[in-house]
Amino acid sequence: MPWPPATGACAVDAWEDVVAPDAGSYHTVGLTASGRALAAGDNSYGQCEVGGWRDIVAVAAGSTHTLGLRADGTVVSTGNNADGQCEVTTWSGIHLP
């Protein structure tokens, strides 16, 4: 892949302390030990716009969307919502086993 990435792509300066990575079709997300989300790759649908996510305990990358589970049990999302996959703002009380 040529660097810098093509238009519509995103990148982070450093992937340090990543404890949980996940991959979508053309983007990758990561969770750091401090609860921050990172993302890099194709951002055509905004699926990499996780820069403000904090207190995250789990991340998941869909084909063109990204989900994050916060420590308080709420879910955040970004990216393509063509089929309602990002309509998670009312989800709460979700916890990891």
- Chain position carrying tokens 């919502």: 81
pTM above 0.85, yes or no: no
Predicted pLDDT of residue 5: 45
Q: What is the pLDDT of residues 48-82, one digit of tens each?
A: 999 899 999 999 999 999 999 999 998 999 999 88
The token duo for 83 is 């089929």
Q: Which sequence spans correspond to the domains of the chain?
A: 9-79
